A and B are shown apart, each in its own frame.
Chain A
Amino acid sequence: MKNSRGLSLIELLAVIIVVSVVIMPLMFSLSGNFRVNYRMINRSAASLISASAVQGFDTIPFDDLSSNDSFDVATSYHMFNRDNCGLLVDETAFQTSEAICTMIFDMKMIERTFTNPEHFEVYLYPYFLTDAAEKTAFIDAAIADGLDARITDAMEERIEIIDTEYPLDLLNITVFILYDTETDGAIVRNGTLTEDWVE
């Protein structure tokens, strides 16, 4: 051995840096995979909860949902979240509408729950409007209120225009769950609510 001095500090640092450069991307990749996995499970949970939320709102008496002293869904949209279930008037003989509403926003799936009121919202709005101008004004007002574009797009797509008084009591429902703030990932599920016609 011609050189038995060993490694200098610079050489040692260079080796550490090279090893770090190799290991760091692998670690980031691993943690990235964990994040994607976590996000995917959040999405699955949000999907199940949104479907159950539509079904849950269907169990609330239609009259309570469509109109009371605080709101009138025939003329404008109404947004529910876990903070404003109290607006629902108690007209049922069993659990109150407010209690059912609270149960909906407390729902849990795969150990996930969406408790932030801004991340889990339910929008009720008319199924029919009488002319295109009325629909445009409705959507414009919703956009001006700062609603997420995914919600106003759903409203745009789902509100039907008819030129006479609508024959049925129908409401559109759109459930919005923001399951990942980092990527702005959200589930938007739409449905229709109507009065029970068979008992």
Chain B
Amino acid sequence: MKNTKGFTLFEVLVAISVGSILIVTLMSLLTTVLLTRNQVDYTNRLDFAVYEVNQTMADRFERLGYKSILDLVEQEMVTAAAGDYVFLLTREYEMAVDDEGMIQPTQEGYKEEYILLLDIAADNLYLGPRDAFILEGMLDNPETDTRENHIISSPRMNFYAGSTITLTCLENHNPSIASVIDLNSDCAHAFLEFDLEISYTLANGNALSPKRYVSTLFY
């Protein structure tokens, strides 16, 4: 061994400085990549949860052929709290099955009623037959069907106060009412704007910061 002096203090300090800069740079790069990946993963889950809800509603609006939508004022009809949003959707048939099982035209029209409900406290968006939403003990509520069977939002979605659903009536269901745009009237066609502040609970129980989604659907 020709040189057994080792490093001088200056060399060690320079080596530590250069090494630290390299390590800090690499660590920060790694941290950024991991954080971004986690953020993208979280946002994706949220995006697709919102996509799924919108897709479900669009399908139901289109395929079930609801004929009218009503912004419910009488919220005591269903167990909804202040700040929740409740809409009554009606599907009408010009034909109905009579007592003998025959399909007959009906003068009055046969109606089925559905409820679209945003329940912020329960963190759920529901869409299902109206009977499932009636307060227990009132009317003839079939206990076999409850609102819990008609949740269309992901159980991991959390809704925040301030989320809104706005109904803009485009055409009145009753043609004789020609000129008044009344949000509480029965609309044949409407424009629904969902302004929702949502977070998503991950499998490990963490819910990251909420994100605001504005979605629009034609009814």
Contacts and interface: CB of A to CB of B under 8 A. Distances in A.
B87 to A, nearest CB: 17
A48 B55 CA distance: 7
A198 B67 CA distance: 10
Interface in A136-193: none
Contacts of A199: 175
A95 interface: yes
A184 B160 CA distance: 37
Nearest to B58: A51
Interface stretch (B110-118, B138-146, B147-155, B211-219): B211-219
A13 interface: no
B181 A48 contact: no
Interface stretch (A52-60, A67-75, A125-133): A52-60
Interface in A91-111: 92-95, 100, 103-104, 106-111
Given A51-B58, A94-B171, A111-B214, A41 B44 contact: yes
A4 interface: yes
A59 B170 contact: yes
A9 interface: no
B41 to A, nearest CB: 9
A48 B172 contact: no
B40 A110 contact: no
A52 B213 contact: no
A92 B171 contact: yes
B42 interface: no
B1 A55 contact: no
B40 A94 contact: no
Interface of A: 1-2, 4, 30, 34, 37, 41, 44-45, 48, 51-52, 55-56, 58-59, 92-95, 100, 103-104, 106-111, 198-199
27 contacts: A2-B2, A34-B40, A44-B47, A48-B54, A48-B55, A51-B58, A52-B216, A52-B217, A55-B58, A55-B219, A56-B191, A59-B170, A59-B171, A59-B218, A93-B172, A94-B170, A94-B181, A95-B171, A103-B191, A106-B216, A107-B216, A108-B215, A109-B215, A110-B51, A110-B213, A111-B214, A199-B175
